[in-house]
Amino acid sequence: MENQEKKRILSMYQCTGTFTLGNYLGALRNHIKLQEEGYDCVYALADLHALTVRQEPAGLRKYTKEAYAWLLAMGLDLEKTVFFIQSQVPQHSQLAWILNCYTQFGELSRMTQFKDKSAKHADNINAGLFTYPCLMAADILLYQADYVPVGADQKQHVEIARDIAERFNGIYGDTFTVPEPMIPKHGARVMSLQNPLSKMSKSDENQNGNISVLDDPDTIMRKFKRAKTDSGSEVRFGEGKEGVNNLMGIYAAVTGKSYEEIEREFAGKGYGEFKPAVAEAVIAELRPIQERYRQIVADKAFLEETYRAQAPRAQAIAQRTLSRVMKKVGLVI
């Protein structure tokens, strides 16, 4: 295992479709902050994982580049952080095959995501969908990650990577750092604006429930004005007020105000004033990032030069681990 002065964090992001406000407030914004908190950060876009569901090729390339541009626009510092596209680092696929041979069928069959995606895509239950946890484990273990930031509902992904690492280490001696899930204590859990009992999702059939980070101000305002609340009018956090609770959570996340401060600010004003205020706060939060994003994504040469320059940095780290693994299992290197 590598000796690192800084603890290493590994996080990978989906690149199918535009990020939502939920992605931004719940994870992305906090991950960017970690680069300033003394961690050695390695981030990537998981385009190989996207192939478990049939993709339109031009769309996948487009969304991957746009996601890369968005994270740069948020302030990701490539002097402090490695940020690459997964498919440009072939060591991921190489290690994934080896880990396939150290992962049990029963472990894979119990994975929640396999069950969920199999139900949603019954016409395409492919082998990659079944073995994706081995690729995910390779993503993490290649970089000897100490921590993997995940939501509480994604802890299972890190647990199987830990099991695989411990099994391999038990057979061959210390090879992999056994990662720990990093579950944020403070992270906005943003729910659908139309169904506040469900998480905000880019796949929501009702697009009024989903705020894209690229939505223009008029669209953001319109969606918040249509947000479902309850039959009352008081801006107060409480049981049975899931819609208002969600809006208060969003407002708190972008303004830094406590729920008590929000309740005092809107005492006697009602939802008619509160909803536009939430929308304006979100618009103000996203505006400078959107402006930087448009500049970056328009400069195709800069964008391509940037992500291509990151691949060798990731490969250099990944190859050290892969070579060690290959040697230990008896492959000629």
Q: Average pLDDT of the chain?
A: 92
3-class state of residue 149 by DSSP: strand
User: Which CATH number characterizes residue 224's domain?
Assistant: 1.10.240.10
Q: Please indicate, yes or no, whether residues 163 and 244 belong to a single structural domain of this protein.
A: no
- 145 lies in some domain: yes
Within 8 A by CB and 6+ apart from 245, the residues are 196, 237, 238
pLDDT digits (tens, 9 = 90+) for 36-73: 898 999 999 999 999 988 899 999 999 999 999 999 99
CA distances from 132 to 93, 97, 266, 303 (A): 11, 11, 47, 28
Other beta carbons within 10 angstroms of residue 115's beta carbon come to 11
Q: pLDDT band for 191, please (50, 70, 90 cuts).
A: very high
The H-or-E segment that residue 134 falls in is: helix 127-141
- 156: closest CA among 100, 103, 112? 112
**Residues with a known catalytic role:** 117, 199, 202
The string of DSSP codes covering 174-190 is S-S---EEE--SS---P
**Mean pLDDT of the region 134-150:** 96
- 86: closest CA among 156, 10, 177, 171? 10
Q: pLDDT band for 187, please (50, 70, 90 cuts).
A: low
**Which has more confidence, 130 or 121?**
130
Q: pLDDT band for 185, please (50, 70, 90 cuts).
A: low
Token pair of 236, please?
């107060």
pLDDT digits (tens, 9 = 90+) for 308-318: 999 999 999 99
Q: Please indicate, yes or no, whether residues 275 and 219 belong to a single structural domain of this protein.
A: yes
Token pair of 186, please?
């403070």
Q: Please indicate, yes or no, whether residues 247 and 324 belong to a single structural domain of this protein.
A: no
* Cα–Cα distance for residue pair 97/221, rounded to 1 Å: 48
User: Which CATH number characterizes residue 23's domain?
Assistant: 3.40.50.620
Q: Please indicate, yes or no, whether residues 26 and 152 belong to a single structural domain of this protein.
A: yes
How many separate domains does the chain show? Answer: 2
Q: Please indicate, yes or no, whether residues 306 and 218 belong to a single structural domain of this protein.
A: no
Whether residue 203 is predicted with pLDDT greater than 90 in this model: the reply is no
Q: pLDDT band for 293, please (50, 70, 90 cuts).
A: very high
Q: In this predicted structure, what is the pLDDT of residue 47?
A: 96
- 264 lies in some domain: yes
Contact 175/169 with Cβ under 8 angstroms? Answer: yes
Q: pLDDT band for 186, please (50, 70, 90 cuts).
A: low
3-class state of residue 42 by DSSP: strand
Q: In this predicted structure, what is the pLDDT of residue 3?
A: 46
Q: Please indicate, yes or no, whether residues 136 and 79 belong to a single structural domain of this protein.
A: yes
Q: pLDDT above 70 covers what percent of the chain? A: 97
- 121 lies in some domain: yes
pLDDT digits (tens, 9 = 90+) for 16-39: 888 999 999 988 998 889 988 989
Q: Which of 183-192, 215-224, 302-311, 324-333 bottoms out in mean pLDDT, i.e. has the lowest? A: 183-192
- 197 lies in some domain: no
User: Between vectors from CA 140 to CA 138 and to CA 145, what angle results, nearest 5°?
Assistant: 140
Residue type present at position 291 = E
Q: Please indicate, yes or no, whether residues 156 and 17 belong to a single structural domain of this protein.
A: yes
The 3-state secondary structure of 59-84, one letter per residue: HHHHHHHHHHHHHHHHCCCCCCEEEE
Q: In this predicted structure, what is the pLDDT of residue 1?
A: 52
* Cα–Cα distance for residue pair 265/253, rounded to 1 Å: 16
Within 8 A by CB and 6+ apart from 134, the residues are 96, 97, 99, 100, 103, 108, 164
Q: Please indicate, yes or no, whether residues 55 and 128 belong to a single structural domain of this protein.
A: yes
3-class state of residue 4 by DSSP: coil
Q: Please indicate, yes or no, whether residues 143 and 22 belong to a single structural domain of this protein.
A: yes
Instruction: State which residues form the domain around 286.
Output: 207-294
Q: Please indicate, yes or no, whether residues 182 and 69 belong to a single structural domain of this protein.
A: yes
Q: For residue 190, count CB atoms less than 10 angstroms from its CB and return exposed for 0-12, middle for 13-18, buried for 19 or more.
A: buried
CA distances from 104 to 95, 170, 196 (A): 16, 15, 38
Q: Please indicate, yes or no, whether residues 282 and 304 belong to a single structural domain of this protein.
A: no
Q: In this predicted structure, what is the pLDDT of residue 5?
A: 77
- 198 lies in some domain: no
- 201 lies in some domain: no
Name the percent of the chain in helix, strand, coil, to the closest 5.
Answer: 55, 10, 35
Q: Please indicate, yes or no, whether residues 36 and 154 belong to a single structural domain of this protein.
A: yes
3-class state of residue 45 by DSSP: strand
pLDDT digits (tens, 9 = 90+) for 231-290: 888 999 988 899 999 999 999 999 999 999 999 999 989 999 999 999 999 999 999 999
- 3 lies in some domain: no
- 33 lies in some domain: yes
**Mean pLDDT of the region 280-303:** 97
Token pair of 175, please?
């090879």
